[in-house]
Amino acid sequence: MSRSFRAETVKLVRRPASWLLLAITLVLSLIFTYVFPYASIAGGTAGPNADRTLPMLLPDRLVGNSLGGLPVFLGSIVLILGVLTVGGEYGWGTWKTVLSQGPSRLEVYAGKLLTLAAAIRALDTAPTAKTASTTTRAAAARAVSQT
């Protein structure tokens, strides 16, 4: 099964659509973490929650904001990634070639499942890391400009 996992990982890493989905995930994460809270502040709406919008942009709320936006779009991105991984074999007609090389169907599907689990973990971790690095850079630039 480790050979099947390695083969599926190589296919997933070399596929440009996987990298495009990662880039889309990072962009959407930044939008849901910063743009939407900032738009609610810039809109100047007054109301009972108006005093809570500014603290949403502060670094201590980073993890909550970035994880709060993930359920909105990550499910559809994971679905697209799963379709690309499993459906690609059908679309390209490579099932006969894969299965004639020795692994059983269970091994092939287990390799695909483990690869998808690792990719989902990366898609879940990457946006938080990216927004944290963006916040750290912005805070460092602000600290340098104030000195």
Could you please report the per-residue DSSP string of 71-95? HHHHHHHHHHHHHHHHHHHHHHT-H
Is residue 23 a contact partner of residue 124, using CB atoms and an 8 Å limit?
Answer: no
Q: What is the pLDDT of residue 57?
A: 67
Average pLDDT over every residue of 13-42? 82
How far is 58 from 73, CA to CA, in rounded Å?
A: 23
pLDDT at 20: 93
Most confident of the ranges 48-52, 113-117, 124-128, 139-143: 113-117
Q: Which pLDDT score is estimated for 44?
A: 62
Residue 146 to residue 121: CA distance in whole angstroms: 38
Model confidence at 14, pLDDT cuts 50, 70, 90, reads very high
Give the mean pLDDT of 87-98. 82
Q: Which two tokens stand for residue 67?
A: 């994880």
| Residue 129 belongs to domain spanning | 2-146
What pLDDT score was predicted for residue 114? 92
Number of domains the chain is built from: 1
Determine the pLDDT at residue 84: 87
| CA angle, 79 then 83 then 87, to 5° | 170
Q: What is the pLDDT of residue 16?
A: 92
pTM: 0.70
Using 50, 70 and 90 to split pLDDT, how confident is the model at 56?
low
pLDDT-based confidence at 143, cuts 50/70/90?
low
